[in-house]
Structures are given as structure tokens and as C-alpha cells.
Structure 1
Amino acid sequence: MLIGTCSMKVIMYEVSSLKGKRQILKSLIERIKSRFNVSIAEVGEQDKWKIAEIGFCCVSNSSKHVDEMINNVIHFIEMDGRVDITECQVEIL
């Protein structure tokens, strides 16, 4: 069994409040949950309204599948347009 984890920090330039941040993150997280088979949540920077830390993971029996899943989610986030990734740390256990 292999576990792939990814922790990333994202920045949102167009938000002006925590409410706006939560709306964007909730929408993004729900879209990722419905499209990909991963567990995902906001895991840090919850008191700042321009920055968020998102963590997600997937489990598989193939390292190739884990790597593809993580890269697909990262690409999906990059293409969203509402957030920019500033840091990204991937680990396969």
C-alpha cells in the first residue's frame, strides 16, 4: 500500500475577506473531491485571508497511480485561475 500526500500553499489575489477566501476554497475543494478520489482539506493559514494551506492524499497499490493522481490534482488547481500555488511539497510513503 502506498500513500501519496501533497501539502501546498496558495495565494488568492482577488479576495478581500475571510468569507471570500472560504467561498473559493470550499468551491475548489468540493470540485476536487467530486472529480478525483482524494481526501482534501484546508490544513493551515486559516486566519489569513489571502493565503491558504491545502493538504490532500490518495492511497493506491501502484506508485505510478499515486504520482498521476497527485499531478492531476496539482494541474487542476493550477488551471483554476482563482488561486496561485506558491509552495508545493509532495511525498509518497
Structure 2
Amino acid sequence: MLSQIVCAFARMMAERRGTELGAWLTRAEDTGLKPLCSLARSLRQDFDAVTAGLTLEWSSGKVEGNVNRAKRIKRDIYGRAGFDLLRRQILFADWAP
């Protein structure tokens, strides 16, 4: 049963069928499994945003990728240098001579 619900969510994400989210949340809650019920409760808190994320083709993936890259660079040089080096690392991270 758990695998069916997880696979249904994966299909919903892959095929951008966010309109089915309400029915999926009800199925997840009906399982009685604590982790699944907790996930469903969390998704219901921002239902409109989750539905839009599962339906629309727009993505913030590139922005999130750049934020994560900047955080990694910052962690790598933590305590060794100031803002100037961090700025150079970010600006020239993809540059190769």
C-alpha cells in the first residue's frame, strides 16, 4: 500500500497532475501511517503553492542551484578569507581558461 501511494505521488510529480493532490492527500491520510499523515498535513498547510508546483512548468531550480553553490563555496572558505575572496570564488567558479 505504501509503495502504491509513493508511486502515485511520483507519477503526479512527473506528469504535472497537481489537480489530483487533494485526492492523493486523502489516500495518504487514510493509510494511518504516521510519517505519511505528517507529510499530508504539511502539504495541506500550503495546498495552493504545492498544487502550483505540481502543475506549472516553471521552476526555481536554477536559482536554488546557484544559492546552494554559493553556500558550498562559503563553507569551503569559511574562516580563511573575507567577502572579497567569496565574491571572486562565486564570480569565477564556472570560468575555466
Which of these two proteins has the greater Rg computed from alpha carbons? 2
Between Structure 1 and Structure 2, the one with more strand by share is: 1
TM-score range relative to shorter protein: under 0.3
User: TM-score normalized by structure 1?
Assistant: 0.26
Between Structure 1 and Structure 2, the one with more helix by share is: 2
Larger RCO: 1 or 2 (CA < 8 Å, sep 6+):
1
User: TM-score normalized by structure 2?
Assistant: 0.25
